């Protein structure tokens, strides 16, 4: 039930986030001012933090809940003000809840963390994510970092009670991180899904530099954290084991030293008394030695001369034994070379390795030395009283204990008062087997090794040492060893998380400020440059690299401007030459036929570029026939000019061969359609004037209708059904028509560059304005008519640049 309750609490931020996101799409809520909506968001998520506190799980003075997720969601998803407000509401409630007895131990730290959660979410959204909702992975990381701060707060505020604080941290860390980080992540995923962002991320997209960098930086930080945490865990585990081993060893050595000191002092005291008695009497006889043996309750007395040979002994078989002949006995030869006293540990003797003795020696006044020894029974009797209870008040660390067992593995000293009982009562098993027991020496083979055993029902690390026939055993609870390790591990990992998070934010900001923003400035300048504004100067000088980049770009642009200017000048010269050639192909001498008084003809061509696609032409086919035409090639510039030249040449050539205008245009169309891969075409109006009958035989290939003015009348559009454009389709046949004129009549031809001239308001000059301008020029010559129309068009368009060629031709039959 508890897990269901906590799980529902973790779902609440996602549900509330989804509701607010959906509401923001509705007209009523979306129209609210931004400040009002931020207050609504903040209060709602603040109340959600309050509910999380009230329905959380109380554990030993702490409250496990998804409280911190609410202000984080408010700040990261909906805006900085909302996050701060929600954090203040949730933090204040948690503080007063602690005063009321709810989660008292962690109250202050938890309330500060909730306020921090809202502030952190607000700060990240505003300064790190530029007031945009971040990806869900940042929500996951931020939620985890906030809970790490929460746990560190528990440590810092409760430093005087480390054990209790750490016990709470161990219990609360994982559920708090999972609940809060999971709740924030789920809320951000839900909102992203509603916004359709998850589908976009599955598609192949190009991320901005800051996004790509932050993703890789986050990955590197997480990997570095995992590697360092693993290293810290292994290191702390080894250090804890090493500390436990060292502690056990030192405690065992301390007890061993106490036992050895007690045994050595007692035997040495008896040896001195026996030496003094022998020096006083000088009697080394069997009876004297036996008397001293019985009086002092020792096991053996040996007299050794200046050569190291036993000359008297309570054990007859030792007589004549050379002390230098055995490793154990040779140690006493030091008494013949300046040393006055010597105590040896309990061990097998050189004369018979199956017998163990403890010896002490002292130099005699008459030369040589006396050796006094304990056998196992006498040795145990001598020190048994001192060993019993020796470790009752000794502890290893805080909860560990020291025990002493004899060779029969019976306790002789135990803090629990189990002396005389088998060692098995403690749970420690030192049962000899083929792996751990040396049959030849009769000793366990794991002396000084750390073993894991259960001592009085608790898992412990156990170490033992052997001295004077006793097993000194140290036991240290695993929980105590692990506590030190875990505390070091948790604090180190928490601090690492804080350091890595701070480094991530710092590096992100540095890269964003020093690299990304400068690149964006450079890109904005480059966009203007590529857009054609070569007067832009790149001026990004935050560091040496960008200074160099800016200077290089500026130098490149300056060089480019030079190349463009040079190329433009060359092109201008070439275009000017091309224009001269193009103009030279058109009739440009007016009046063209000064000896004829029956016609007045004039034409003008103003190209939008240096060369154009419009053209006009007129020429006498014979004395009584005048051919004249107006044409417009699709497009402008060099390509249109070249196509114009071809079309003009073909028309002129076929006009010399044909008298029928329709046949002329039909043959021109056929030739122009051949190899017309560019898909260009020509509109053309062509007429042949019979000067005897004043009849115009004409054909129209998709061109504008001419305007005709009768004598003493106004201009009118002469509209007829036009044919298809030249070069537009193969096999087209054109039809001719007739136009009857009289002396005094006028005909005006033009291209669409005249009627489609545009002013600053995108208004066309139009056919009506053209007719009106022509009507105002009544009685004017052909030249005056062309020039008058051009002036009227220029006055209409004003400063607006010309975008199409304007060509006009006026033919007037003089009375």
Higher pLDDT, 432 or 373: 373
Q: If you average pLDDT over each of 95-109, 230-244, 606-620, 744-758, which comes out highest?
A: 744-758
Burial class of 128 by CB neighbour count within 10 A (0 to 12, 13 to 18, 19+)? middle
Strand pairing partners for 451?
462
Cβ 252 vs Cβ 470: under 8 Å:
no
Cβ 13 vs Cβ 66: under 8 Å:
yes
Tokens 């030792």, residue located: 318
Pure H helices in 78-208: 80-99, 107-123, 136-157, 162-194, 197-202
Which of 271-285, 289-303, 378-392 shows the lowest mean pLDDT across its residues? 378-392
- pLDDT for 673 equals 93
pLDDT tops 70 at residue 447 = no
Cβ 635 vs Cβ 680: under 8 Å:
yes
| Mean pLDDT, rounded, for 386-399 | 75
CA angle 550, 554, 557 (to 5 degrees): 140
pLDDT band at 666 (very low <50, low <70, confident <90, very high): very high
Instruction: Convert the pLDDT of each residue in 668-689 to its tens digit.
Output: 999 999 988 888 999 999 999 9
Instruction: Kindly state the DSSP code that residue 203 receives in the 8-state scheme.
Output: S
pLDDT tops 60 at residue 224 = yes
Higher pLDDT, 158 or 791: 791
Three-state SS string over 53-81 comes to HHCCEEECCEEECCCCHHHHHHHHHHCHH
- pLDDT for 433 equals 45
Three-state SS string over 540-578 comes to CCCCHHHHHHHHHHHHHHHHHHHHHHHHHHHHHHHHHHH
Higher pLDDT, 682 or 711: 682
- pLDDT for 446 equals 59
pLDDT band at 136 (very low <50, low <70, confident <90, very high): confident
- pLDDT for 472 equals 87
Q: Cα separations (Å) of 544 from 239, 479, 524, 541, 658?
A: 48, 58, 20, 7, 77
Strand pairing partners for 625?
622, 690
CB contact set of 301 (below 8 Å; sequence gap of 6+): 274, 289, 292, 293, 313, 314, 370, 371, 372, 373
- Closest-CA residue to 280 (of 413, 370, 203): 370
Cβ 632 vs Cβ 805: under 8 Å:
yes
Distance of alpha carbon 64 from alpha carbon 253, whole angstroms: 47
Tell me the angle at which helices 661-673 and 637-655 cross, rounded to the nearest 10 degrees. Answer: 140
| Mean pLDDT, rounded, for 131-136 | 84
Sign of CA dihedral 197, 202, 205, 211: positive
| Mean pLDDT, rounded, for 310-323 | 92
Distance of alpha carbon 740 from alpha carbon 693, whole angstroms: 8
How many other C-beta atoms lie within 10 A of the C-beta of residue 331?
17
| Mean pLDDT, rounded, for 72-89 | 91
Rounded to the nearest 5°, which phi and psi values hold at 209? Answer: -60, -45
Distance of alpha carbon 312 from alpha carbon 366, whole angstroms: 14
- pLDDT for 383 equals 67
Cβ 380 vs Cβ 369: under 8 Å:
no
CB contact set of 374 (below 8 Å; sequence gap of 6+): 267, 298, 299, 300, 346, 357, 358, 359, 382
| Mean pLDDT, rounded, for 580-608 | 87
Distance of alpha carbon 371 from alpha carbon 309, whole angstroms: 12
The token duo for 180 is: 């809060």
CB contact set of 27 (below 8 Å; sequence gap of 6+): none
pLDDT tops 70 at residue 407 = yes
- pLDDT for 697 equals 96
> 442-451: long-range contacts (C-beta < 8 A, 24 or more apart)?
444/471, 448/249, 450/241, 450/244, 450/245, 450/248
Tokens 């949730």, residue located: 90
Q: Cα separations (Å) of 343 from 265, 319, 611, 797?
A: 9, 21, 125, 127
Higher pLDDT, 696 or 172: 696
Tell me the angle at which helices 107-123 and 136-157 cross, rounded to the nearest 10 degrees. Answer: 150
Instruction: Convert the pLDDT of each residue in 510-534 to its tens digit.
Output: 777 777 777 778 888 888 888 878 7
pLDDT tops 60 at residue 445 = no
Cβ 361 vs Cβ 369: under 8 Å:
yes
**C-alpha 493: how far from chain center:** 20
Higher pLDDT, 453 or 626: 626
pLDDT band at 752 (very low <50, low <70, confident <90, very high): very high
pLDDT tops 70 at residue 200 = no
Q: How do strand 369-375 and strand 62-64 relate by DSSP bridges? A: unpaired
- Closest-CA residue to 219 (of 227, 230, 207, 209): 227
pLDDT band at 549 (very low <50, low <70, confident <90, very high): confident
pLDDT band at 234 (very low <50, low <70, confident <90, very high): confident
Higher pLDDT, 29 or 622: 622
pLDDT band at 369 (very low <50, low <70, confident <90, very high): very high
Sign of CA dihedral 232, 233, 234, 238: positive
Distance of alpha carbon 508 from alpha carbon 76, whole angstroms: 17
- pLDDT for 435 equals 40
Which of 10-19, 137-146, 376-385, 582-591 shows the lowest mean pLDDT across its residues? 376-385
What rounded mean pLDDT belongs to the chain?
85
- Closest-CA residue to 66 (of 11, 121, 10): 10
- pLDDT for 767 equals 94
Distance of alpha carbon 186 from alpha carbon 291, whole angstroms: 94
- pLDDT for 235 equals 83
Instruction: Convert the pLDDT of each residue in 353-365 to its tens digit.
Output: 888 888 999 999 9
| Mean pLDDT, rounded, for 768-779 | 93
pLDDT band at 535 (very low <50, low <70, confident <90, very high): confident
- pLDDT for 302 equals 94
CB contact set of 392 (below 8 Å; sequence gap of 6+): 413, 414, 415, 417
Distance of alpha carbon 496 from alpha carbon 774, whole angstroms: 89
Higher pLDDT, 28 or 262: 262
- pLDDT for 371 equals 95
- pLDDT for 734 equals 94
pLDDT band at 386 (very low <50, low <70, confident <90, very high): low
Cβ 626 vs Cβ 688: under 8 Å:
yes
The token duo for 571 is: 């092109």
Distance of alpha carbon 331 from alpha carbon 341, whole angstroms: 12
- pLDDT for 104 equals 75
- Closest-CA residue to 259 (of 271, 267, 270): 267
Distance of alpha carbon 228 from alpha carbon 232, whole angstroms: 6
CB contact set of 797 (below 8 Å; sequence gap of 6+): 757, 758, 759, 760, 765
For the chain, the maximum distance between any two Cα atoms, rounded to a whole number of angstroms, is 185
- pLDDT for 105 equals 75
Beta strands in 387-498 (DSSP E): 401-405, 411-413, 437-438, 443-444, 451-455, 458-467, 470-477
Q: Cα separations (Å) of 517 from 124, 511, 520, 539, 541?
A: 17, 9, 5, 13, 12
pLDDT tops 90 at residue 755 = yes
pLDDT tops 70 at residue 183 = yes
pLDDT band at 198 (very low <50, low <70, confident <90, very high): low
Distance of alpha carbon 379 from alpha carbon 721, whole angstroms: 142
């Amino acid at each position: 039930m508890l897990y269901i309750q906590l799980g529902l609490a973790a779902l609440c931020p996602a549900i509330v986030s989804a509701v607010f996101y959906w509401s923001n799409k509705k007209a009523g809520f979306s129209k609210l001012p931004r400040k009002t909506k931020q207050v609504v968001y903040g209060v709602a998520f603040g109340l959600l933090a309050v509910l999380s506190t009230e329905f959380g799980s109380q554990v030993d003075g702490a409250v496990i809940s998804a409280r911190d997720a609410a202000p984080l969601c408010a700040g990261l998803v909906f805006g900085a003000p909302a996050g701060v407000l929600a954090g203040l509401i949730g933090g204040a409630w948690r503080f007063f809840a602690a005063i009321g007895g709810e989660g008292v131990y962690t109250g202050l730290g938890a309330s500060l963390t909730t306020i921090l959660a809202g502030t952190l979410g607000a700060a990240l959204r505003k300064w790190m994510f530029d007031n945009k909702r971040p990806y869900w992975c940042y929500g996951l990381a931020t939620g985890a970092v906030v809970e790490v701060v929460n746990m560190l707060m528990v440590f810092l505020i409760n430093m005087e009670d480390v054990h209790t604080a750490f016990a709470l941290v161990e219990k609360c860390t994982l559920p708090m991180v999972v609940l809060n980080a999971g709740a924030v992540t789920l809320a951000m995923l839900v909102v992203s899904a509603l916004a359709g962002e998850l589908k976009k991320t599955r598609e192949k997209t190009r991320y901005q530099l800051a996004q790509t960098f932050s993703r890789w930086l986050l990955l590197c930080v997480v990997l570095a954290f995992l590697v360092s945490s693993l290293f810290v865990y292994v290191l702390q585990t080894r250090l804890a084991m090493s500390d436990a081993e060292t502690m056990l060893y030192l405690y065992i050595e301390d007890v061993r030293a106490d036992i050895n000191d007690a045994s050595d002092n007692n035997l040495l005291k008896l040896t001195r008394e026996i030496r003094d008695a022998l020096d006083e009497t000088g009697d080394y006889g069997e009876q004297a030695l036996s008397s001293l043996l019985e009086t002092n309750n020792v096991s053996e007395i040996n007299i050794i001369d200046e050569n190291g040979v036993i000359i008297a002994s309570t054990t007859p078989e030792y007589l004549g034994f050379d002390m230098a002949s055995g490793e154990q006995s040779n140690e006493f030869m030091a008494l013949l070379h300046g040393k006055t006293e010597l105590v040896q540990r309990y061990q097998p003797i050189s004369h018979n390795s199956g017998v163990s003795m403890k010896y002490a020696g002292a130099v005699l006044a008459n030369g040589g030395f006396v050796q006094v020894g304990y056998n196992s029974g006498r040795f145990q009797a001598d020190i048994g009283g001192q060993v019993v209870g020796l470790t009752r008040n000794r502890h290893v660390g805080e909860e560990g204990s020291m025990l002493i067992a004899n060779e029969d593995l019976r306790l002789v000293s135990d803090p629990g008062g189990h002396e005389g009982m088998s060692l098995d009562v403690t749970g420690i098993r030192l049962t000899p087997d083929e792996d751990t027991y040396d049959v030849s020496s009769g000793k366990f083979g794991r002396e000084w090794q750390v073993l894991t055993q259960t001592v009085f029902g608790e898992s412990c690390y156990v170490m033992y040492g052997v001295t004077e026939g006793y097993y000194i055993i140290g036991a240290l609870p695993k929980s105590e060893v692990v506590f030190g390790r875990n505390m070091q591990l948790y604090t180190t990992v928490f601090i690492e998380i804080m350091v890595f998070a701070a480094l991530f934010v710092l590096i992100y900001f540095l890269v964003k400020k020093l690299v990304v923003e400068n690149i964006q400035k450079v890109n904005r300048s480059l966009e203007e440059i590529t857009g054609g504004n070569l007067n832009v100067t790149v001026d990004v000088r935050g560091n040496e690299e960008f200074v160099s980049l800016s200077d290089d770009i500026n130098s490149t642009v300056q060089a480019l401007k030079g190349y463009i200017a040079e190329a433009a000048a060359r092109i201008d010269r070439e275009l000017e030459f091309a224009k001269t050639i193009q103009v030279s192909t058109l009739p440009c001498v007016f009046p063209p036929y000064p000896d004829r008084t029956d016609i007045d003809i004039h034409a003008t061509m103003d190209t939008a570029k240096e060369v154009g696609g419009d053209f006009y032409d007129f020429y006498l086919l014979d004395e009584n026939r005048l051919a004249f035409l107006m044409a417009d090639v699709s497009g402008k510039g060099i390509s249109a000019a070249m196509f114009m030249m071809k079309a003009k040449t073909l028309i002129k050539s076929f006009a010399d061969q044909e008298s029928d205008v329709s046949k002329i245009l039909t043959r021109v169309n056929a030739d122009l359609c051949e190899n017309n891969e560019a898909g260009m075409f020509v509109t053309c109006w062509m007429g042949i004037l019979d000067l005897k009958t004043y009849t115009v035989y004409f054909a129209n290939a998709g061109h504008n209708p001419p305007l005709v003015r009768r004598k003493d009348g106004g201009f009118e559009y002469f509209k007829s059904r036009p044919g298809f454009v030249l070069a537009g389709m193969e096999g087209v046949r054109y039809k001719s028509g007739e136009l009857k004129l009289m002396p005094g009549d006028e005909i005006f031809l033009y291209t669409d560059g005249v009627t489609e001239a545009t002013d600053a308001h995108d208004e066309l000059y139009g056919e009506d304005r053209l007719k009106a301008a022509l009507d105002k020029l009544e009685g004017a010559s052909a030249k005056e008519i062309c020039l008058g129309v051009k002036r009227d068009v220029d006055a209409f368009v004003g400063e607006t640049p010309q975008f199409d060629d304007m060509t006009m031709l006026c033919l007037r039959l003089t009375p």
